[in-house]
Chains A and B, each alone.
Chain A
Amino acid sequence: MNESPLLTPTLFHAGPVPISGAVVVTWLLVAVITTASWALTRHLSLRPGKAQCVLELFVETLDNQIRDTMQVQPEPYRALIGTLFLYILAANWSSLVPGIEPPTARLETDIVLAMIVLLASIGYGVATRGVRGYLRTFAEPSWVMIPLNLVEQLTRTFSLIVRLFGNVMSGVFVLGITLSLAGLLVPIPFMALDLLTGAIQAYIFSVLAMVFLGAAVEAHPTPKTLENKEP
């Protein structure tokens, strides 16, 4: 166990660009998810088959979750949140395939995922409120809060990174240690626990992404929107 989990070993070079194992696994996952989504949505019918039923159940649950968490219509956010959830779930569970290490156990993948959430929250905030309106949310409830709000943007992105990285990395770490201590069947309960942790972390990451996007889109309901909500 002398290999540092914080360093990313280079697998090969594509020209001047070093390619790590996590990137290759990510490409594989993207290919698999894209192919599966394409194959599942190609023959949609009014009388759904088994696969389409599962798909509709997933999309409906996602929509309800977005509606409950963000209090908005789910259409603009469905693709982003759903893709985040599916990718993290597939990445966490990819450790089941022998020889594949989940890309989320490397710091870089998690940084990119959290950066996507941060940039998306800025983008959606600017799109719904305008640049001036979005910047004004930093000065709410008063201008004293500006530094705190700025720091909050950074710390919550950082906690997103470390939460996902720490959970998945510690799973891989524990597996490696048990494997080096005891042989064949002992790591299996830990792998089952990893499955649970991976699913919960994917769920938590997407829920937190929803919360951040929701905060950027509708941080403090203005009196006008409240009036509109009253019948």
Chain B
Amino acid sequence: MDNLIQIVSILAAAIAVSFGAIGPALAEGRAVAAAMDAIARQPESAGTLSRTLFVGLAMIETMAIYCLVIAVLVLFANPFVG
């Protein structure tokens, strides 16, 4: 029974990371595409745009990192594994 919980935990960690990466990946793609579009229109504001873009990307990436933290919690600090 203990073994089953470990198998399920590993599966859950993999599913959490893989599905949690989908949303942020799409969002980062949209953000970068929008920034590229804006830079192509206004090359003179590229500095401000890329700075804001980096901060925004880090914010979006944090969503994926939350999933990673959950996966790490499940793998290393699982309360149901003796």
A residues at B contact (CB < 8 Å):
4-7, 159, 162-163, 165-167, 169-170, 173, 196-197, 200-201, 203-204, 207
Contacts and interface: CB of A to CB of B under 8 A. Distances in A.
Given A200-B54, A200-B58, A204-B55, A5 B76 contact: yes
Contacts of B55: 200, 203-204, 207
B20 to A, nearest CB: 11
A197 B58 contact: yes
B62 A166 contact: yes
Interface residues of B, number: 14
B69 A165 contact: yes
Given A4-B77, A6-B77, A162 B58 contact: no
Given A200-B58, A203-B55, A166 B77 contact: no
Interface string B39-82: 00000000000000011001101100110110011001100000
Nearest to B75: A4
A173 B65 CA distance: 12
Contacts of B76: 4-7
A163 B64 CA distance: 10
Contacts of B68: 166, 170
Given A4-B76, A4-B77, A6-B77, A162 B59 contact: no
B62 A163 contact: yes
A33 B76 CA distance: 34
A204 B58 contact: yes
What DSSP secondary structure best describes chain A's contact surface?
A: helix
Interface of B: 54-55, 58-59, 61-62, 65-66, 68-69, 72-73, 76-77
Contacts of B66: 162, 166
12 contacts: A4-B77, A5-B72, A6-B73, A6-B77, A162-B69, A163-B65, A166-B68, A167-B61, A167-B65, A200-B54, A200-B58, A207-B55
Nearest to B59: A204
A201 B69 contact: no
B69 A166 contact: yes
A6 B69 CA distance: 10
Contacts of B62: 159, 163, 166-167
B65 A170 contact: yes
A170 B64 CA distance: 11
A97 to B, nearest CB: 24
Contacts of B69: 162, 165-166, 169
A149 B77 CA distance: 30
Nearest to A167: B65
Nearest to B54: A200
B50 to A, nearest CB: 12
Given A200-B54, A203-B55, A204-B59, 10 more contacts: A4-B76, A4-B77, A6-B73, A6-B76, A7-B76, A167-B58, A196-B54, A197-B58, A204-B58, A207-B55
Nearest to A199: B54
